[in-house]
């Protein structure tokens, strides 16, 4: 956990979108209101996970009283539970790209989603990374563009922002 007062050096890597994921295709053109989440079973990550924090912040900002169906400790467990028809979850889109492409899972459009964040490498400001970490960062920096181009080509649902 990072303390709010900690000063960090950062290398931004990529955008990250949180979307509502379900096992059934959405009705064409239908965008749910946030209140609709009160009428479906929601699957949550464990307390303390960044995904859980994003989901709880969205629910709180919209004043929604939701039904937590289950609390699970991994995105894979959430995906499998959605596939089994146990509910919906707000998840990082990157964690379900293959399932979206294969049309096993679907993004249900909801007002206020996606929530956009970004992934970064961070380290204490003023502290030089050790040689192995520096070599890794240098490799990421040198190859990031090519990886992001490949990743961007895999984005689905027309969302390339």
Among 76-80, 105-109, 115-119, name the one with the lowest average pLDDT: 115-119
Between CA 159 and CA 137 the distance in angstroms is 28
In this predicted structure, the answer to whether residue 148 has a pLDDT above a threshold of 90 is no
Q: Give CA separation, 147 vs 16, 39, 158, in Å.
A: 15, 39, 19
* pLDDT number for residue 160: 38
Strand partners, 61: none
Q: pLDDT for 40-49, tens place per residue?
A: 999 999 998 9
What's the mean pLDDT when you consider all of the chain?
89
Q: 161 versus 98: which is more confidently predicted?
A: 98
* pLDDT number for residue 57: 94
Between CA 57 and CA 117 the distance in angstroms is 13
């Amino acid at each position: 956990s990072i303390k709010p007062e900690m000063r960090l050096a950062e290398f931004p890597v990529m955008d990250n979108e949180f979307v509502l994921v379900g096992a059934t295709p959405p009705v064409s053109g239908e965008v749910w209101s946030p209140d609709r989440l009160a009428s479906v079973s929601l699957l949550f990550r464990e307390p303390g996970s960044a995904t859980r924090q994003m989901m709880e912040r969205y629910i709180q900002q919209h004043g929604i009283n939701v039904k937590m169906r289950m609390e699970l400790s991994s995105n894979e467990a959430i995906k499998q539970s959605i596939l089994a028809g146990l509910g919906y979850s707000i998840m990082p889109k990157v964690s379900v790209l293959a399932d979206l492409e294969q049309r096993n899972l679907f993004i249900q459009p909801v007002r206020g989603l996606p929530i956009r964040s970004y992934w970064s490498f961070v380290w204490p400001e003023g502290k030089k990374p050790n040689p192995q970490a520096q070599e890794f960062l240098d490799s990421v920096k040198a190859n990031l563009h090519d990886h992001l181009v490949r990743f961007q080509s895999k984005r689905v649902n027309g969302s390339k922002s």
